[in-house]
Structure 1
Amino acid sequence: MTRETSRSEIEVVRLRVRPQFVFVRHGRTEKRKALLVQARRRKGDAPGAHVGAGFTATKKIGNAVTRNRAKRRLREAARVLLPQLGKPGWDYVFIARMETADIAWPRLLDDMESALISLAAD
């Protein structure tokens, strides 16, 4: 169920500093078995702006190896799906859950896709 990006004109930029994550935290949230997705529209951005993406995993997920594996899987799934399903001018934070590191890849993609579709519906 791998998908290639069809709308490559949308640039995905990583969120890197804590204030960016805190800003998105106060937006909309979608929970799935494999992940939690938070989204919020940035103020003052022109239409056609980039999409922001941040990734996190808490210590409840497991040790550093498990957390890093979960974040790598989230980054790859977002790389595949976010250019298609992300809204320009919005920031997204993908939070790993206990199952993220071990769940089957197609299920992770399905969970992320359904969360992004739900967040896109206004």
Structure 2
Amino acid sequence: MLKRADFLRANNGMRVARPGFILLAHPNHEQGIRYGITVTKRIGNAVVRNRMKRRFRELLWANLPELGLPDHDHVLIGRETGIERDFARLQQELRRALEKLHRGEADPPRRRNASKPRQRRK
């Protein structure tokens, strides 16, 4: 996935939060299993962010073909503790998150902070 609209659409789907990442999944109307990765500047400099994206890419390549939801977009959002986590532990967490999505047991939707107005991107 490369288009911003696809990432925004995935944000309206199912969500499973883990210590190293947040996994989003949203139906994509028979376009197969697709994935996207997001790591913000808050995580670290470019070297750290790229390392995290490489690790996430390897995780997704290894696990999505067998455990991914068919015809869904999957988005991994990096968290600050994700770069320090052991790769085997990240893989285990991703497998559990995908199994949870298969059972339809997504986390409850995020609550927006009502005191802060939401800024729109142009």
TM-score class, shorter = 0.7 to 0.9
- Give, as a single letter, the amino acid of the residue that structure 1 aligns with 2:3: V
Say yes or no: does 1:96 pair with 2:78: yes
Structure 1: which 4+ aligned runs deviate by more than 4 Å?
A: none
Query: Which consecutive unaligned segments of at least 5 residues does structure 2 have?
Result: 105-122
Structure with greater Cα Rg: 2
In structure 1, the residue matched to 2:50 is: 68
Correspondent of 1:50 among 29, 32, 40: 32
In structure 1, the residue matched to 2:109 is: none
Say yes or no: does 1:107 pair with 2:89: yes
TM-score between both structures, scaled by the size of structure 2: 0.81
Say yes or no: does 1:82 pair with 2:64: yes
- Give, as a single letter, the amino acid of the residue that structure 2 aligns with 1:23: R
In the alignment of these two chains, the number of paired residues is: 104
Please list, as runs of the form range in 1=range in 2, the aligned pairs for 1:28-43 lying within 5 A after superposition. 28-43=14-29
TM-score between both structures, scaled by the size of structure 1: 0.81
In structure 2, what is the Cα distance between the partners aligned to 1:22 and 1:91?
Answer: 11
RMSD: 1.0
Q: What is the deviation of 1:103?
A: 0.9
- Give, as a single letter, the amino acid of the residue that structure 2 aligns with 1:18: R
In structure 2, the residue matched to 1:119 is: 101
SS in 1 for 2:89: helix
- Give, as a single letter, the amino acid of the residue that structure 2 aligns with 1:16: L
In structure 1, the residue matched to 2:111 is: none
- How much identity, in percent, do the aligned residues show? 35
